[in-house]
């Protein structure tokens, strides 16, 4: 993966991962050496910067005629380590939504920490580098220049952090998609709505049997059979069919979509917030609404997983 030199950043607050990288550089005790590197970066001495697997390879023009070649890397995580991280990420649909949108979740470091890892190196000494220049000190001003250039790349593409740890953006997102598909395959499909209606009917029937006052007598059944069935107007039936067709095809879209440009996030307001409090006694209303909220959260989570698959 090859990057061209990023444009000077706009005057705005940097993302947390950029600030963390800058803090890492500022923690280095030999600040004059890093300052020379920063000036080199600003003056355009970095001729090229390329990612090869998890290493950064750069060409920097120094005082000599021939530019210097250098490489920078940090310890890459094993496939097993990344497997644990992907498992943790896949358990939260919001992580997938943010990553697919090109956003780094604010608490992404906690995901790595929970698996005994750290996305960022603890100190600059954990960042390995070498340069072809004759300067025996490390980092030399050429390496320091690339350090600051990396901060600009983190600003444009936070997935560079994943690249340095051994996984590209495409690999992480593909692994998340596979995890979600496996979760969907293992989750039992909900019964059709008619099954729920049948269950409700059976429950009412059982309730009626248990309560003689609500039992249906034979005369009631005869009267019910004698009454003619009222058919809805034709226009109403057509409208119902149209609505059913629209709902059935609500998520259908005929054009191909670029996954990196599609953002799917949970709704800020649920249908329970819209309908408001139920017309029941306070205690009963709370019990019913708490139950509905639990169901809604479960269904919303599954919907997000399905939508992002």
| Residues ≥6 apart with Cβ < 8 Å to 155 | 6, 9, 14, 15, 18
User: Which residue did the predictor score with more confidence, 232 or 305?
Assistant: 305
The reported pLDDT for the residue numbered 165 is 92
pTM above threshold 0.85: no
User: And the tokens for 213?
Assistant: 């006052």
DSSP the chain: -EEPPPPPPPSSPPPHHHHHHHHHHHT-S-HHHHHHHHHHHHTT-EEEEEEETTEEEEEE--SSSSPEEEEEE-PPPPHHHHHHHHHHHHT-HHHHHHHHTT---TTHHHHHHTTT--SS-SSGGGSEEEESSS--SSS-HHHHHHHHHHHHHHHH-TTHHHHHTT--HHHHHHHHHHHHHHHHHHSPPPPPHHHHHHHHHHHHHHHHHH-GGGPPPHHHHHHHHHSPPPPPPHHHHHHHHHHHHHHHTTT---S---GGG------SS-HHHHH-S-SS-HHHHHHHHHHHHHHHHHHHHHHHHHHT-
Residue bearing tokens 């429950």: 203
Rounded to whole angstroms, the Cα distance separating 67 from 42 reads 17
- pLDDT mean across residues, the chain: 74
| Mean pLDDT on 293-298 | 78
Q: What confidence tier does 13 reach under pLDDT thresholds 50, 70, 90? A: low
Percentage, residues of the chain above pLDDT 90: 18
Percentage, residues of the chain above pLDDT 70: 64
The full set of domain ranges for the chain reads 2-186, 266-309
Rounded to whole angstroms, the Cα distance separating 145 from 24 reads 14
Per-residue pLDDT tens digits for 28-71: 777 787 888 889 989 999 999 988 888 999 999 998 999 999 99
Per mean pLDDT, which of 20-24, 154-158, 168-172, 240-244 is the most reliable?
Answer: 168-172
User: Which residue did the predictor score with more confidence, 158 or 6?
Assistant: 158
User: Which residue did the predictor score with more confidence, 114 or 204?
Assistant: 114
User: Phi and psi for 237 in degrees, rounded to 5?
Assistant: -65, -40
| Mean pLDDT on 206-230 | 48
Candidate from 91-100, 122-131, 224-233 with smallest mean pLDDT: 224-233
The reported pLDDT for the residue numbered 226 is 47
The reported pLDDT for the residue numbered 267 is 62
User: And the tokens for 186?
Assistant: 């293992």
Tell whether the model's pLDDT for residue 216 goes beyond 90.
Answer: no
The reported pLDDT for the residue numbered 223 is 47
The reported pLDDT for the residue numbered 221 is 46
User: Which residue did the predictor score with more confidence, 92 or 162?
Assistant: 162
User: Which residue did the predictor score with more confidence, 53 or 183?
Assistant: 53
The reported pLDDT for the residue numbered 240 is 62
Q: Are 120 and 20 in contact (CB under 8 A)?
A: yes
Tell whether the model's pLDDT for residue 14 goes beyond 80.
Answer: no
The reported pLDDT for the residue numbered 69 is 96
Q: What confidence tier does 120 reach under pLDDT thresholds 50, 70, 90? A: confident
The reported pLDDT for the residue numbered 158 is 78
| Mean pLDDT on 256-271 | 61
User: And the tokens for 278?
Assistant: 């139920």
User: Which residue did the predictor score with more confidence, 134 or 263?
Assistant: 134
Q: What confidence tier does 256 reach under pLDDT thresholds 50, 70, 90? A: low
| Residues ≥6 apart with Cβ < 8 Å to 237 | none
Per mean pLDDT, which of 12-26, 71-85, 86-100, 171-185 is the most reliable?
Answer: 71-85
| Residues ≥6 apart with Cβ < 8 Å to 215 | 208, 209
* Nearest CA-CA partner of 166 in 102, 119, 204: 119
| Mean pLDDT on 241-253 | 63
User: Phi and psi for 55 in degrees, rounded to 5?
Assistant: -110, 150
* Nearest CA-CA partner of 309 in 37, 96, 15, 132: 96
Rounded to whole angstroms, the Cα distance separating 17 from 107 reads 11
CA quadruple 31, 33, 34, 35: dihedral sign: positive
Residue bearing tokens 């490489």: 71
């Amino acid at each position: 993966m090859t990057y061209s030199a990023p444009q000077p950043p706009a005057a705005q607050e940097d993302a947390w991962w950029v600030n963390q990288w800058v803090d890492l550089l500022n923690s280095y005790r030999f600040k004059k050496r890093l300052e020379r590197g920063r000036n080199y970066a600003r003056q355009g001495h970095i001729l090229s910067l390329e990612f090869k697997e998890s290493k950064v390879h750069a060409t920097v023009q120094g005082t000599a005629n021939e530019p210097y070649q250098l490489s920078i890397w940090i310890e890459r995580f094993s496939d097993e380590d990344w497997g644990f991280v992907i498992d943790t990420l896949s358990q939260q649909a919001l992580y997938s939504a943010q990553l697919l949108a090109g956003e780094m979740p604010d608490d992404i470091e906690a995901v790595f920490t929970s698996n005994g890892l750290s996305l960022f190196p603890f100190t600059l000494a954990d960042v390995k580098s070498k340069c072809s220049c004759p300067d025996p000190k490390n980092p030399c001003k050429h390496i320091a220049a690339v350090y600051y250039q990396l901060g600009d790349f983190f600003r444009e593409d936070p997935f560079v952090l994943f690249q340095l740890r051994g996984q590209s953006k495409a690999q992480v997102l593909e692994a998340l998609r596979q995890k979600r598909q496996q979760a969907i395959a293992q989750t039992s499909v909900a019964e059709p709505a008619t099954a729920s209606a049948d269950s409700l009917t059976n429950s009412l029937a059982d309730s009626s049997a248990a309560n003689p006052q609500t039992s249906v007598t034979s005369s009631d059944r005869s009267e019910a059979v004698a009454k003619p069935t009222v058919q809805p107007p034709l226009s109403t039936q057509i409208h119902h069919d149209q609505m059913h067709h629209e709902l059935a095809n609500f998520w259908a879209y005929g054009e191909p979509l670029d996954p990196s440009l599609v953002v799917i996030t949970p709704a800020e307001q649920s249908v329970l917030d819209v309908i408001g409090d139920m017309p029941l006694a306070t205690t009963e209303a709370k019990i019913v609404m708490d139950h509905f909220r639990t169901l809604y959260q479960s269904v919303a989570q599954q919907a997000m997983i399905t939508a992002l698959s």
